[in-house]
Structure 1
Amino acid sequence: MKKFFQVLGIVTLLLVGLYYIEECSGKKDQSEAVEDVQDDLEMEKSVHLKFKGVPIDGTLKEFISRMERKGFEHRSSYDSKERLVGDFAGIKQCTVYVETLDNSDLVSRIIVEFPKQERWEELFDNYKNLKSMLMEKYGNFSSCVERFQNSYIRTDEDRMRAVHMGECMYKTNFSIAEGDITLSIDYEEWGQGFVLLKYQDKINSAIIREAAIEDL
């Protein structure tokens, strides 16, 4: 009988412990949910340029945390930039580079590299569709250049060849109150090209410029 009560006591302690853990976990989840809602409200009020609803501002750690909440995965650091991967503007597995002000933990620019393409048709479709969506959201562009430097282009193969020789000049810029957004076609490897989208926050760009002037 004594052994029975000892076992009963142990089981009771385990059940109490599990209940306590669940209660703490639930409270923690609720607390985190409240913090997320409060942070979402703060982001909505921000006067900085936004990327996927996240202001291009604050510390690197804070920005990455917010992007992870948006479904992006923080992969690594690359050439002094932090690299994230996720779906953006209806396109899967985009690479996002986060840049900060030199010598200061302040996010100032975001660069989105869309998946590489080997055919001009897919490459141009990405560019054209993104340009259309940007115009729908931000209005007409402030500048646009779309031409090939080589006048002897007849086929899509010629166009892709021009991309990889740096002879494809496709760039559209949107200047809005919060900053600049630039869409362009770029290349990295022979046989492939990709669309690039850059977000430059106006307020933090001014801080960068002021810091540079102070160095002179």
Structure 2
Amino acid sequence: MKKFFTFLLVVVLVLLCLRIAGVWKSEPDDKNKNRALEPVEVDTTADSVAMEQSTHLKFKGVPIDGSLAQFLSRMQSKGFEVTSGRRDEIHRLEGDFAGFKQCEVYVSTLDNQDLVSRITVCFPIQDQWKNLYGDYKTLKEMLVEKYGRPVSCVERFTDYLGNTGEETYLMHSVSRGGCKYVTRFSTDEGDITLSIEQREGLYCFAQLVYQDKENSQAVRKSAIDDL
């Protein structure tokens, strides 16, 4: 019986030693894990000053310029969420903008370059003309207040359905591509285009496109150099 208790004591001691050794061994990994989760410190004050001094067209206060990673990081700090990865040089975000909830924002970069150049905002989908036109009209009024009179404006229907004036027919016309409502604003930093759009003949919405002038000129210069 004494030998049995002695054996049992040895087993317990061995297991205890293995347990202690295991804790010591895993300790560095836990520290590395916690270190990896620590957020990267960013000088937000310096970044805010840099954005304020930028000569590029701004979207929600963020210059339409720089690398995609930098732009996405700045947009996330504004409350936007990245909802899809890169596809054909475009990233998709989602968030609130200009008083509208859950807008889709598409960030485009220059071909073969990690340089943001255009932002497209798709506002909530509408299935009634009064709401669709209401979104367009509201945005147009705010843009006029901020940027002044537009440089061009076309608002008409190009098919017989839209020209009937009937609410139901108006939406059919929009879904068939018969609605041409486009207003363009021009600034020293770039162009802003407001329009009524449709996707797949089912989804109708107001849309804003911000095109930075400096980066657009860089693309044009590169294209001319190829000639």
**TM-score category by the smaller chain?**
0.7 to 0.9
Displacement of 1:214: 2.2
Distance in 2 between the 1:85 and 1:214 partners?
37
CA 1:128–1:204 in structure 2 vs 1: closer, same or farther (change >3 Å)? same
Q: Match of 1:118?
A: 127
Distance in 2 between the 1:161 and 1:153 partners?
11
The equivalent position to 2:70 in structure 1, one of 62, 67, 71, is 62
Displacement of 1:194: 0.6
Displacement of 1:192: 3.0
Could you give the per-residue CA deviations for residues 74-108 of structure 1, whole angstroms, max 9, x where no partner exists? 11134431111000000010011111111111111
Q: Select the structure of larger CA radius of gyration.
A: 2
The equivalent position to 2:189 in structure 1, one of 178, 185, 193, is 178
Q: Match of 2:57?
A: 49
**Counterpart AA for 2:187:** I
Which runs of no fewer than 5 residues in structure 1 stay unpaired? 1-20
**Counterpart AA for 2:197:** D
TM-score (normalised: structure 2)? 0.79
Q: Match of 2:199?
A: 188
CA 1:156–1:42 in structure 2 vs 1: closer, same or farther (change >3 Å)? same
Indicate the larger mover: 191-200 or 71-80: 71-80
Displacement of 1:29: 8.1
Q: Match of 1:197?
A: 208
Distance in 2 between the 1:192 and 1:124 partners?
14
Displacement of 1:190: 3.4
Distance in 1 between the 2:71 and 2:222 partners?
22
TM-score (normalised: structure 1)? 0.83
Distance in 1 between the 2:117 and 2:53 partners?
18
Identical amino acids, percent of aligned pairs? 54
**Counterpart AA for 1:71:** G
Q: Match of 1:159?
A: 170
Could you give the per-residue CA deviations for residues 22-72 of structure 1, whole angstroms, max 9, x where no partner exists? xxx9xx88954xx11110111000110000000000000000000000000
Q: CA RMSD in A?
A: 1.9
Distance in 2 between the 1:62 and 1:30 partners?
13
Distance in 2 between the 1:201 and 1:191 partners?
30
**Counterpart AA for 1:166:** G
Displacement of 1:166: 1.0
CA 1:116–1:136 in structure 2 vs 1: closer, same or farther (change >3 Å)? same
Q: Match of 1:89?
A: 98
User: What secondary structure, in the 3-state scheme, does the structure 2 residue paired with 1:169 have?
Assistant: strand
Could you give the per-residue CA deviations for residues 151-198 of structure 1, whole angstroms, max 9, x where no partner exists? 542211111111111110000000111100000000013343011100
Whether the 8 Å CA contact 1:185–1:196 is kept in 2: the answer is yes
Residue 139 in structure 1 maps to residue 148 in structure 2: yes
Q: Match of 1:168?
A: 179
Distance in 2 between the 1:42 and 1:155 partners?
51
User: What secondary structure, in the 3-state scheme, does the structure 2 residue paired with 1:47 have?
Assistant: coil
Whether the 8 Å CA contact 2:89–2:110 is kept in 1: the answer is no
User: What secondary structure, in the 3-state scheme, does the structure 1 residue paired with 2:150 have?
Assistant: coil
User: What secondary structure, in the 3-state scheme, does the structure 2 residue paired with 1:48 have?
Assistant: coil
Distance in 1 between the 2:48 and 2:167 partners?
45
Displacement of 1:145: 0.2
Whether the 8 Å CA contact 1:185–1:194 is kept in 2: the answer is yes
- Count of aligned pairs: 189
User: What secondary structure, in the 3-state scheme, does the structure 2 residue paired with 1:67 have?
Assistant: helix
